[in-house]
Structure 1
Amino acid sequence: MSDTNAIGLHNSSANELADKLNTLLANYQIFYMNVRGYHWNVKGHQFFELHTKFEELYDDLLTKVDEVAERILTLGHQPVHAYSDYVKIASIQEDKDVHQGEACVRGIVQGYQTLIELQRELLSLAADADDEGTASQVGDYIREQEKTIWMLNAYLG
């Protein structure tokens, strides 16, 4: 029996990567719902600007949720798909009853910072496993999200 999976990665590496990707997926799902809540509930003089920006951000997060789940499947594993499991394994916490624009933006910055930290860990694991697919995917996410953090911090002043 081969010790590699269908895409040629060692099974032990694929297992470790899939576990870490499931943790990332859980964090994306919680963060997605937080940003969706900010979009629905933001109030104040910045409403129109922030409402539109939050929709752009949660649409992008939803795309990434799907891409992360598909990467887990590509590695030969099953993505976690129960919200109760997401809450248990995610380090991003649900952010409830946030209405003020700047608080919403700060919550988004913190969420992206958590995702970037997790993705950097994945980048290292993927490099060690010669997993270019995962490395490329999370590397692209990191680059995009670092720029988003810069822009959101500029907005906050």
Structure 2
Amino acid sequence: MSITGTLIIQMIVFLALVGFTMKYVWPPIAAALDERAAKIADGLAAADRAKSELAAANAKVDEELAKSRNQIASLLADAERRAQGIVEDAKGRANEEAAKIVAAAKAEADQQTVQAREALREQVAALAVKGAEQILRKEVNAGVHADLLNRLKTEL
């Protein structure tokens, strides 16, 4: 065979191979490539959606954190106001108790002063009676002169 014949036969075999490849091999490869491209496109779209959802979630988290901080600040302010109120109330009650205690102590001191004066008056009256006894050198009857002694107590 000549080179031309061989070349023609090789061309026919090549064309048959190209035809077979185009008919039976190429469509599954093209389908697999198209399917892969679709999956990649879906993956990229899903990544974009996830990215936007993440941004939205971050914004929502920031908003919730801001709300929580505001609520915590208001709760702390309320707690501080309540604590101040409780402290002021306790101070008021303590002042009232102190005033009551001081008044009771003052009343007790006044009562003890009155009792001391009474005891002193009785002692002065007894001394006056003893002094009068010694001056008069006779015994004075305390029962007879009780009215006189009571008047002397009130004058002292």
More helix per residue: 2
- The structure that has the greater radius of gyration is 2
Question: What is the TM-score with the length of structure 2 in the denominator?
Answer: 0.26
Q: 1 or 2 for the larger relative contact order (CA 8 Å, sep ≥6)? A: 1
